[in-house]
Amino acid sequence: ETGVTQSPTHLIKTRGQQVTLRCSSQSGHNTVSWYQQALGQGPQFIFQYYREEENGRGNFPPRFSGLQFPNYSSELNVNALELDDSALYLCASSLVLGGTETQYFGPGTRLLVL
């Protein structure tokens, strides 16, 4: 087990709705990254937070937003859901001290948009 948890495990929403996914990082980890994984594909980087500030963003529109809190938890918010947002959403936490780090992944939240 990686010590990273995510909630909920599964979620069904309809197009146009908003969703909040949650992640609890490993204690002491200062960085959290979020990924979207479509069926049969590799994870795609959404964004990364370091010490509660966004520290890099992938090719995702602004309706994907996030927060990182001092208690090692974080959120991914998606507004105006589209059918293509249906995917497995993974968070990964790491301790960045400069340079190389290993990311520890949670089990993911599977989102279905109807």
**Residue selected from 20, 44, 73, 86 as contacting another protein according to rule CB under 8 A:** 44
Give the span between the Cα atoms of 75 and 24, in whole angstroms.
9
Residue 3: strand, helix, or coil: coil
Which residues of 1-114 form beta strands (DSSP E)? 5-7, 10-13, 19-24, 31-37, 44-50, 53-57, 64-68, 73-78, 87-94, 104-105, 109-113
Nearer to another protein, 67 or 88 (CB): 88
Stretch that binds another protein, among 13-21, 52-60, 62-70, 72-80 (CB under 8 A): 52-60
Q: Which of residues 91-110 bind another protein (CB under 8 A)?
A: 92, 96, 98-100, 102-108, 110
Residues that bind another protein (CB under 8 A): 2, 4, 33, 35, 37, 39-45, 48, 50, 55-56, 58, 88, 90, 92, 96, 98-100, 102-108, 110
